[in-house]
Structure 1
């Protein structure tokens, strides 16, 4: 029979070991401290081990570690982290590849893909730096650089980034220029407006499913639809919407009247919108408490209502089959009304720092 293990290290009493266990953020090490404290208090080894969730042999091993190393010996020894195989300069170059995207030309002229996969990045790392890394390692590099797999937004080929930046930087001046003389000096509200078509063909969205599967969802093939005219004021967290059968000037006039009723009394609203044909022209009737400010051409990314449509579709309007036009209208009204009752969500989705004009 082996001799009973003895705690030979005596710089800490049982009470001090208990206090150290209470301060420790390592739950496993804390249990080991409590077990040794029980031994120092004269509790038999079997009881001390079972009380702290271990067997007698495990307790014996931890007592030996404690005798040799003190409290430090009660924590699991972890090997040092493996050094990253790419230098900081190589990681910076790797990040530039991710930002620039792949060359879709066939290998070996290009990368042969339209979006990066980890295996493609791993191949380029091997070709450029002579370092072979596993796909999981490539994923860790991407995570370390702050990259995640995200859904892309559409961009019109005629988009002018310089015009968009100029619009954002000059937004306060553009708002001031849009105001009529009667509105100068009044409190201002910034509103954003847009339309979305919702129809029987519907849209699909992401759902939870088992890895490796291709989940299926219903999608209609008929062609009835309605239009949601939506506007939001992120500073106040309010929204004004209508569901209309057509996107035309009469529908826009009705929506402008709806927005005018939602503007705070004594306040003037600047309504930011795109250059659709029904947003201007001789038949448009703009209420006295609203001024229009048109976005640069092909710039939907500057209109936060585009993100509102994404939110509505992802939560209430996707993966649905609508029997007829009335069903579409009911679904659109329900989705918009649910959205409009959440001021915090409106502010979160639609707020833009560049669109602040009030101090």
Structure 2
């Protein structure tokens, strides 16, 4: 935290803090079967398919506030930095008005721990954004995982998987309505 950040929130903060959980998830129309059951001696086969992939980097708060950054193809530290920069630019205005700092909770994915990412990460503290890492191998602590599960298994209809175009359109519609039509209640 830099001194300007501490000075601007002292006294006005009064225990307020925004938490955003960050993670990415990939969406494709190719099925993913990580494991299966079969009789001994019998072989189950699935035809191999390939599909384009839409990756979504998401920032989600406990009150269903959100920010999403989508990218087709590979996600690297440059992509993650672009998402963080876009989130920080949006949060800057909120922070200036509300004087409420923000903690961004993220996992230890290689793109989050890369030197290139950390060289850029300090700029967020100017806007009241600080980073906090979860313990390694603890995806259950990253609450945005609930969002990805809800989208993939509850909110995206089966006909979204007819084509890549249909999936992208319906996924973007769900993301646009998150916090309004689609919500998650955290106990």
TM-score by length of structure 2 reads 0.69
1:200–1:275 CA distance, 2 compared to 1 (3 A): same
Offset of residue 222 of structure 1: 2.6
Is the aligned partner of 1:238 residue 2:65? yes
- Structure 2 counterpart of 1:275: 108
**Structure 1 gap segments, 5+ residues each:** 1-178, 205-218, 353-359
- The answer on whether the counterparts of 1:241 and 1:258 sit within 8 Å (CA) in structure 2 is no
**Which has a greater percent of strand?**
2
Q: Distance in 2 between matches of 1:316 and 1:222?
A: 23
- Specify the SS of the correspondent of 1:224: coil
- Asked which structure has the greater CA Rg, the reply is 1
**Secondary structure in 1 matching 2:116:** coil
Distance 2:142 2:83 in 1: 17
Cα distance in 2 for residues equivalent to 1:328 and 1:220: 19
Partner residue in 2 for 1:295: 134
Shift, 1:247, TM fit: 1.7
Higher relative contact order (CA 8 A, sep 6+): 2
| 3-state SS in 2 of match to 1:307 | helix
- Cα displacement (A) at 1:199: 0.7
Q: Any idea what the Cα deviations from partners look like across 1:315-356, whole Å, max 9, x if unmatched? A: 3336342534x444323312211224358x24x1xx47xxxx
Q: How does 1:110-259 map to 2 (within 5 A)?
A: 179-184=1-6, 185=10, 186=13, 187-202=16-31, 221-234=49-62, 236-245=63-72, 246-259=74-87
Label 1:340 to 1:250 Cα distance change in 2 as closer, same or farther (>3 A): farther
Which runs of structure 1 show a deviation greater than 6 angstroms over 4 or more consecutive aligned residues? none
> Post-superposition shift, 1:313?
1.2
SS of the aligned residue for 1:283 comes to helix
Distance 1:313 1:193 in 2: 17
Q: Which residue of 2 aligns with 1:140?
A: none
How many residues are matched?
154
Superposition RMSD on alpha carbons, in Å?
2.8
TM-score, length-normalised on structure 1?
0.38
